[in-house]
């Protein structure tokens, strides 16, 4: 690391080394102490709970070892919920990335639309999930929601479905809201990334005759690589850990068509009084998130700009 403070070997250096060490320890102490006490310790305890059968209303519990995990692997609802999370990740993620790339490109232009959008694109991220869920529930309402209202006004009345009440359309409907909510964050990330592309590179590409789309492919995307990687990791986390949105809009229904891992977890913990199983679910969820994030980081490690001619 070029900017790092080096360690020294001389005697004065060793004294300064001790001084350095003391400094490092002192500066890390408050954060680490708070974090270990209030975050890691409860998490560790939660991991331990996953080895028990526990109702969650007293300290009475029975040790079952890996029993909860064995049950989890064979649980068809868990697998179905996981598939829904993955659907959000792949389909939702694809839409988010495409739209975010396009919008972040456009957001740098001048013009009233761009300026207006710069001001408001983070709004969905900033308001609480309760508001988002209530709002979109009204939009999707089959009798007076704006979606069906618009469809009927446009003469497409037969498309005015019961979006959240029917198993076929519920998950895509929730997916749309998921995308709407997450877009702002990824637009922000990607426009940050676009800012880091040196202007000369872009100008050179334009001079070389690369039109918009080709420029996108050969210059913009490769230079955005590290940012895209970060964006994808956030997509993994966001889609696998989604809870409030689904819970508030559909509670995982109808008939489990929008069930995701965390709503299933909540059901086991708080409705079925199976806290041990719920914790095991959380551990599994955590493991899957780590796995997928790691996979994304590994798959995208090779930066296409390395070694390629300008």
Residues 26-45 close enough to bind another protein by CB under 8 A: 26-28, 30-32, 34-35, 37-43, 45
Stretch that binds another protein, among 54-62, 80-88, 215-223, 298-306 (CB under 8 A): 54-62
Residue 37: CB minimum distance to another protein, A: 7
- Work out whether 80 is an interface residue with another protein (CB under 8 A): no
Stretch that binds another protein, among 87-95, 108-116, 214-222, 301-309 (CB under 8 A): 108-116
- Work out whether 162 is an interface residue with another protein (CB under 8 A): yes
| Structure-token pair, residue 41 | 């310790």
**DSSP 8-class letter at 106:** H
Angle at which helix 76-87 crosses helix 167-196, to 10 degrees, equals 40
Single out the residue of 85, 193, 220, 296 in contact with another protein (rule: CB under 8 A). 193
Place of tokens 């790339």: 101
Q: Which of residues 264-303 bind another protein (CB under 8 A)?
A: 265-267, 269-273, 275, 278-279, 282, 285-286, 289-290
- Work out whether 17 is an interface residue with another protein (CB under 8 A): no
Backbone torsions φ then ψ of 290, nearest 5 degrees? -60, -45
Residue 205: CB minimum distance to another protein, A: 14
| Structure-token pair, residue 34 | 């708070």
Under 8 Å CB-to-CB from 277, ≥6 apart: which residues? 53, 68, 71, 72, 268
Secondary structure (3-state) at 16: helix
Single out the residue of 130, 204, 291, 295 in contact with another protein (rule: CB under 8 A). 130
Q: Of the candidates 216, 25, 7, which has an alpha carbon nearest to the alpha carbon of residue 106?
A: 216
- Work out whether 4 is an interface residue with another protein (CB under 8 A): yes
Stretch that binds another protein, among 83-91, 214-222, 224-232, 295-303 (CB under 8 A): 224-232
Considering beta carbons, is residue 201 or 237 the nearer one to another protein?
237
Encode 76-94: b = buried (16+ Cβ within 10 Å), e = exposed.
eebeebbebbbbbbebbbe
């Amino acid at each position: 690391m070029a900017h790092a403070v080096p360690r020294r070997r001389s005697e004065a250096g060793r004294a300064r080394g001790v001084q350095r060490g003391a400094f490092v320890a002192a500066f890390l102490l408050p954060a680490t102490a708070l974090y270990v006490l209030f975050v890691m310790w409860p998490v560790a305890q939660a991991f331990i709970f996953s080895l028990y059968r526990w109702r969650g209303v007293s300290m009475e519990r029975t040790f079952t070892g890996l029993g909860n995990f064995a049950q989890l692997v064979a649980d068809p609802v868990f697998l179905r919920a996981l598939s829904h999370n993955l659907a959000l990740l792949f389909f939702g993620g694809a839409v988010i990335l495409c739209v975010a790339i396009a919008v972040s490109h456009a957001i740098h232009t001048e013009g009233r639309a761009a300026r207006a959008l710069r001001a408001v694109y983070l709004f969905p991220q900033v308001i609480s999930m309760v508001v988002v869920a209530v709002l979109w529930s009204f939009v999707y309402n089959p009798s007076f929601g704006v979606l069906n209202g618009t469809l009927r006004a446009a003469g497409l009345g037969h498309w005015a479905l019961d979006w959240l009440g029917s198993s076929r359309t519920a998950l895509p409907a929730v997916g749309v809201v998921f995308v709407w909510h997450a877009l702002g964050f990824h637009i922000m990330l990607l426009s940050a990334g676009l800012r880091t592309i040196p202007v000369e590179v872009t100008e050179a590409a334009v001079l070389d005759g690369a039109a918009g789309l080709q420029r996108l492919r050969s210059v913009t995307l490769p230079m955005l690589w590290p940012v895209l990687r970060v964006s994808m990791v956030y997509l993994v986390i966001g889609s696998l850990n989604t809870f409030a949105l689904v819970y508030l809009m559909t509670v995982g229904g109808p008939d489990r068509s929008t069930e995701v891992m965390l709503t299933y977890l909540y059901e086991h913990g708080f409705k079925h009084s199976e806290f041990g199983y719920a914790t095991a679910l959380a551990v599994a969820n955590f493991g899957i998130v780590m796995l997928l994030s790691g996979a994304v980081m590994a798959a995208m490690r090779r930066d296409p700009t390395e070694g390629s001619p300008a």
